[in-house]
Chain A
Amino acid sequence: MARPILMPQVGQDLTEGKVVAIKVKVGDKVKKGDIVAEVESEKASFDVECFETGTIIEIRHKVGDTATVLQPLMMVGDEGEATAPAASPAAATPVPSAAAPASAIPVKAAPQVVAASPAAAQLAVASGRSSPLARRLASEAGLDIRQIKGTGPGGAVVMKDVEAVRQAGPGAATVLSFPSSSPAAGGGGQGIKSLQQGAGDPVLFIHGFGADLSSWRPFVMLMNAGNPLLALDLPGHGSSQDGTVTGFADLVAQVQRQIEAAGLTRLHLVGHSLGAAVATELAGGGRLDVRSLSLIAPAGLGPKVNGDFVAGFLAAQSEAPLKAWLDVLVHDAARLPGALLRATLAGREGTRLAAQQGRLAEAVFAGSTQLFSIREALARYQGPVRVMVGDNDRIIPASYADVLPAHVALHRLPQVGHLPQLEAAGLVARLVSDTVRSAG
């Protein structure tokens, strides 16, 4: 069975590091203690030591790549082993030919195919079959089902396979892995990152317009839920600088693909502003099993948005004008961390972020009008849902939250603007944690 060699944790709060050398190639025999790669953080370089004995069957990064910590750098297995559970030729029932492409890769040729094309590897693992129960148990245990060897029909992963990995204890299991934030195949597969490990259904945070996933980092420290905490970058934000968005529905569809590409089907959603609108559509859309929904200053509840803010925020190219506009986000400008200002400017430098965000703004807001409504999706979603808005929100009128479906809990926070997760972080983290826990 394939076992991963993980990208080491290279620093206290570091989430990724650069691969500077790879000292093995596919097919090489390795033993415990061998140095297989070298990676570096901003401060130092580290040897990656092999804890397994076997043959390198897949290398997932090349020199120069940025790799996410605690994610597999490469896979070790038995000689000739494929990383994906290929359909057993001895299976009594032939798989219909439509399902053939991925599983039809001959086992012997697999190392070569896999090494040559990460996209092919992705396809191969994605086609692995598993029972719904096995997927749920793997998700609850924080295991990546794609890494578990299946003994069910046609190599499907069934309950006892997950149990076997769980009982083998830590080390035998791969932590839940997601496509890295380096350019991913096919677009839309970018950047779901783990903010905090945990057990149970993952909680996915979706940021608002102009922010990125790192904006959640201070907030998640306050969360009181044992679940894995994940976050993504919306198209045109953070590390996700490619791709265009043609409208709100397209934005939702892209995020949905991103989530599906990460193999997530059952999760809690937390969103802020535009991200909250996306979360609501995903929850009401029914394709994902959304366990709970926490909406912070959600967009999409009424027509008006502060178009001056959007335009001014995007046009600002230096600290003074940007600060003037960012101040509008909060009730008390003193609460706005200077880091936000510098991070926003630094993010724009040498990137197309501002231009991409401008296009996104045109696609979802026409001037001061929100071109979409989440009200239908909100009414459709029957799980636990909580809305938190600041009374002094100057981006989206707080009064839009006055009329909500009866099953939605509403918290109006006094002396808070458009960033409740920053301005009333403790309370909002408690409410979000409660919402997650309420779903059981």
Chain B
Amino acid sequence: MTREIMYRDALREAIDEEMANNPLVFIIGEGIAERGGSYKVTEGLLAKYGSKRVRDTPIAEAGMIGVGVGAAIAGARPIVEILYVDFAMLGMDMLVNQAAKFRLMTGGSGRVPFIMRTQGGTGGGVAAQHSQSLEALFYHIPGLKVVMPSQPADAKGLLKYALRQEDPVIFLEHKHLYMTKGPVPEGEYVIEFGKADIKRPGKDVTIIAWSNMVPRALEAAAKLAEEGIEAEVLDPRTLVPLDKEAILASVAKTNRVVIVQEAVRRGGVASDICSIIQEEAFYSLDAPVEIVAGLNIPVPFNLELEKASVPQVPDIISAARRTLHLQPRAIAAQ
């Protein structure tokens, strides 16, 4: 049995169920207790679990992340909610030098089951310091797992799995997705990391997308279907670990790839996935791999410019058509 619920409700269910199951789970963040969080993910949890396990913090991200990493090392299962991923930069030393390294530096005996939940991406003119997609920063650091759910069911299953595994997880939500609805199974389930999901099967071109680019890729695929092009939409769901096998299997089937990321193009995850494909599936490719990505600029405040700075549905359609040699290839982005 499934029901249609919102992404934010699915996240809340995951936290609620895991807090009920495991007394070591607690959550801290700005305005998450009495206010229920800016996106209402934690609404109602204070009343249920009390102020020791659902705790407001001052606006001090370095301290919040430090507390979380320390608590995880000490054996708890903290969730630290950071309002915008942009602000997580204040805690980078704790994430990059402490959380990501601790397991290795203790010869495997010290584990850091720490979860940073935060959100990124563009969304309605909140400007350059509140609109970034920074997954590549975390993707680059060995020792961190990077999760980017696109749909409510994935959000719930992946967060529950994150709360049961032993390593630091950067759980990146998207401000556009909290109010989106989707079918979520009733009852207990988890989604293992490293398992991509085919959101729409197809045979002509593989569109790889994650987070908020998945709904856009699906919209593009629906329009492509009208011209007889069957696009397969593959959502890796977790960037680290990455389900390379699923990607290679899809490329072997379709022979053409479009990778869509909201983040700026330069140094992005899309480029890294592209390098894997060219190295391991070169002789399956019938066209250059297309990357549709954000422009290499800070996200503009102006709504129209903001829209122009990140991939839109027509961009994805054009890229897919180029891989099928149906329209000329544009000059590559700078």
Give A contacts to B, CB under 8 Å.
91-93, 131-136, 151-153, 158-159, 266, 289
Contact = CB atoms under 8 A, between A and B. Distances in A.
Contacts of B329: 92-93, 153
Interface in B313-328: 325, 328
Contact of A136 (B283, B287, B328, B330): B283
13 contacts: A93-B329, A131-B285, A131-B286, A133-B255, A133-B284, A133-B285, A152-B287, A153-B325, A153-B329, A158-B325, A159-B255, A266-B283, A289-B283
A152 B322 CA distance: 10
A132 B284 CA distance: 7
Contacts of B330: 93
A131 B328 contact: no
B301 interface: no
Contacts of A136: 283-284
Given A92-B328, A151-B325, A152-B325, A158 B287 contact: yes
Contact of B328 (A91, A132, A135, A158): A91
Given A93-B328, A133-B284, A151-B325, 6 more contacts: A93-B330, A132-B282, A133-B286, A134-B286, A152-B287, A159-B255
Given A93-B331, A159-B255, A132 B283 contact: yes
Q: Which of A131, A158, A266 has the most CB of B within 10 A?
A: A131
Contact of A158 (B282, B283, B286, B331): B286
Contacts of A131: 285-287
A152 B282 CA distance: 17
A93 B330 CA distance: 7
Contacts of B328: 91-93, 153
A133 B325 CA distance: 14
Given A152-B325, A153-B325, A159-B255, A135 B286 contact: no
Given A92-B328, A93-B329, A159 B283 contact: no
A132 B328 CA distance: 19
A159 B283 CA distance: 11
Interface in B252-288: 255, 282-287
Interface in B292-325: 325
B331 A133 contact: no
A353 B322 CA distance: 54
A131 B278 CA distance: 12
B330 to A, nearest CB: 8
A133 B330 CA distance: 21
Nearest to A152: B325
For the residues of A in contact with B, the DSSP-based class is mixed
Contacts of A266: 283
B235 to A, nearest CB: 24
Contacts of A135: 283
A133 B205 CA distance: 14
Interface of B: 255, 282-287, 325, 328-331
A116 B282 CA distance: 37
Task: List 4 tightest A-B contacts by C-beta distance, closest first.
Answer: A92-B328, A133-B286, A136-B283, A159-B286
For the residues of B in contact with A, the DSSP-based class is loop
A87 to B, nearest CB: 13
A131 B286 CA distance: 5
Contacts of B286: 131-134, 158-159
Contacts of B325: 151-153, 158
A113 to B, nearest CB: 28
Contacts of A289: 283
A289 B285 CA distance: 15
Contacts of A134: 286
Contact of B283 (A91, A133, A151, A153): A133
B282 to A, nearest CB: 5
Contacts of A92: 328-329
Nearest to A135: B283
Q: Which of B284, B287, B328 has the most CB of A within 10 A?
A: B287
Contacts of A93: 328-331
A132 B282 CA distance: 6
A158 B284 CA distance: 11
A289 B279 CA distance: 12
B171 to A, nearest CB: 37
Nearest to A265: B283
Contacts of A159: 255, 286
A92 B325 CA distance: 12
B164 to A, nearest CB: 36
Nearest to B283: A136
A131 B285 CA distance: 7
A123 to B, nearest CB: 24
Nearest to B255: A133
Nearest to A157: B286
Contacts of A132: 282-286
A168 B277 CA distance: 31
A133 B287 CA distance: 8
Contacts of B285: 131-133
Contacts of A133: 255, 283-286
Nearest to B284: A133
B280 to A, nearest CB: 12
A136 B285 CA distance: 10
Nearest to A266: B283
B59 to A, nearest CB: 50
A108 B330 CA distance: 29
Nearest to B322: A153
A132 B331 CA distance: 21
A244 B255 CA distance: 44
B156 to A, nearest CB: 39
B72 to A, nearest CB: 39
A359 B166 CA distance: 65
A158 B256 CA distance: 11
A154 B328 CA distance: 9
A151 B325 CA distance: 9
A152 B256 CA distance: 14
A136 B255 CA distance: 12
A132 B279 CA distance: 12
A131 B325 CA distance: 11
A43 B255 CA distance: 50
A191 B330 CA distance: 42
Contacts of B287: 131, 152, 158
Contacts of B284: 132-133, 136
A136 B281 CA distance: 12
Nearest to B252: A133
A158 to B, nearest CB: 5
A152 B287 CA distance: 9
A159 B324 CA distance: 10
B318 to A, nearest CB: 13
A158 B283 CA distance: 12
A37 to B, nearest CB: 38
Nearest to A133: B286
A93 B331 CA distance: 8
